[in-house]
Amino acid sequence: MSVKVGDRAPDFTLSSQSGEKVSLKDFLGKKAVVVYFYPKDDTPGCTAESCAFRDSYEVFKEMGAEVIGISGDSPDSHKSFASKYNLPFILLSDTNNQVRKLFGVPATLFVLPGRVTYIIDKEGIIRQIFDSAFDFKAHVNEALKTLQGVK
């Protein structure tokens, strides 16, 4: 089962790179949230995508949105990845892929964890889903375009 545009985003709680628990409900009523699922820390495509989110992070903040990256890597791996590339946003550890399954993120080429971005408004409604395994920077552009329409 996968979520669709117009659905309420499923709530989840995962550990961040700092070890603290972060839930989607923490942002409801306060901020829109851009949740991007990516395959693996410190790989070429995931680094390009994460750095593109980093480079536009101030724009996301000005638009009243938070960026959250989710992969199956450990909090320690996320901490190292965030430090190495100066990533200013939250990275969450979905080690058993439970949240990935909750959202219904499809696999890439049937084996790799998928690369999908969800734009969730302040009320928790999914406003856009962008799925592209290989157009890394388009995730940022699509998220910004959607957020402009949500304002």
Active site residues: 46
Pairwise CA distance, residues 58 & 10, whole Å = 26
Cα angle 66, 49, 12; round to 5: 45
Identify residue 93 by its one-letter amino acid code: S
Spell 51-87 as b/e; 16+ CB within 10 A means b.
Answer: bbbbebbeebeebebbbbbbbbbebebbbebbeeeeb
Sole residue written with tokens 């696999």: 107
Q: How far is CA 107 from CA 11, 26, 100, 125, 133, in A?
A: 21, 28, 10, 23, 9
